[in-house]
Structure 1
């Protein structure tokens, strides 16, 4: 027996009371400019340290980045800012182009090390030996002693706080036997954690012809470090570390100023000055990547400005709560005349301030709904939409089960419908 039905579409802010005082939110998810860029930023000469270099070739004239609230000028050559919880992109500039990652590479080295610690294959107090290769490594240094034995936890601090290239080599050789074998593990792991535009030739970020990452990939890696290894994330936030009677401060000035709790800086002549930072303010976390800046001073100033901009111009709104009743609809041939329809999932959106009134919610389903209905059964979909944003769809489900009427009652109901139009 065919169900007499019609398509029900409820649109607008007035019809549904949502769970946030904002009423409606929009996912700001701009297109990825430059996503298909195939050119590589060829690394040039220069050591992977974070000191200023008059020979730095990066730092193009200021040009705008894409944001949901309009273009925003930034001196960074590559940039990417996203909300940690929702994944919403708030700013991007050449974010999927290949770039020399410099010491941002050490985030991938750290990911492998943390994974070994978490699995029990490595221990923080485990001692690793210093080879001549590690001792001779140039650029940023922890100043490991030739032939010495160093605890893993000290090497991690040397790698992340002091940006020690020598510490990275000790860790790589201690874990995999050689840097090359460790690099192979980095490249094998990268695609499994969502890195789609990265290739590693070393563990330090030392300039190499086919060594690259994208700003988007660096942000993805930072997200995975925070999410996968919360027990080890504290290493990124330490302000200084003393080893071999040499004290060095954290090169991430945003950490030193209390504006971020990690992650890493980097510099080479080809890549310019870069920064990956994350900050949690009021329970909301943002991940930012900037690279290609002309000096360490510009890196600090632009990092602070863009991070502040992201927090000031966007907020997170809980738009839907799983089980939240949104509408009631008639049931065809059910023992109950109506059933409540509710959200099938939670939905938190990152929204620009002032965009709430421009977003619409639509419920799309067949009415009446035919019995029998099971609690949690999808009967339609909720669509969140608005000017300039991609539609977001959430299942619309029945809040309760409704059994079908017995045969005599169904016959009476069908007769009443066709005779009386009920």
Structure 2
């Protein structure tokens, strides 16, 4: 018997010594030997199993959530025929139509295996994609903690946070190319058709920045991310049109920067300087222009691609121009307001710790904001949102460009920053608006 014990536990010196010492202490009967050896083996096996434990923490409460019943409850509430809660209530609570919600569920499930329902180690089926997306969107819409959804989606707090991170990343991966694209030639023509009757031919949208307060900013970064308001923030630069579609989203720079610093790091004019932007030509007050522009507030530089208001304006034409420009420029402010109203998470303080997760959250919210606008667009014409890949000039490629292309790049940059064209365009728009509206 002693040899058997030694061979069986030859990988644990402490336990071997324990059995050997006991064996040599005294002579015992065969029955005593058997029961004492069995007790020692049981105790040793318990210690060894405890050391190798990788499951739930001992002593932690185990909750049998019945995820199957939770999924059936969600289906009965919103997706049965008929559902308990109407489509109007669904739109109010999820910020989107039921059809769009189901499209997102199907798309992220097909993209990421994490959302597919699979059995766990004991054969029990986990949560469905419907439950995970339900919880993630409710977190975005109401800025609620993950554990507050447990009673509905039957998912623990840690798993819900994990599902939330997978969701925002999947939304960006699947829908960014379609709903966060630069304007195509068709988009540009449509923007011209919208903005010309408003008195701004050639306008591509309105530009501004929004700050998102970062509650859980690491202490070592607080100085870098503070400056605009009380506490650290991160900046979203955006361009929006009249229908509140966000055409450009650039997020993640620290809140200590201002709009000019953000613009200098922004890829807003990348397609223009690389020569891949759609061609644009328009007339204002008898003068021809070949480069679109954005309405901006006074902090932006006096570039040919920005049209700003006139501070302390005097004279009827100037006063009228400033009034119209400031009114139309509110498009981007309204877009920020609607974005924050739809997704309360980007209105309240950010509670995640890493910048990558915050970037995915903000970008996913912008994408779903555009998806909702597209889904609810009150138009009979279907627009083709797909576009072929176009060349984008990256910084590391500048030195590898041939000389004629580099000269063209520098020429376009000079045209963008031309203050003379900026002032001429502003004056032409002033005369155009006065002739269009002010002289009535």
Larger-Rg structure: 2
- Of structures 1 and 2, the one with the larger relative CO (CA 8 A, separation 6+) is 1
Same fold by TM-score greater than 0.5? no
What TM-score, normalized to structure 1? 0.24
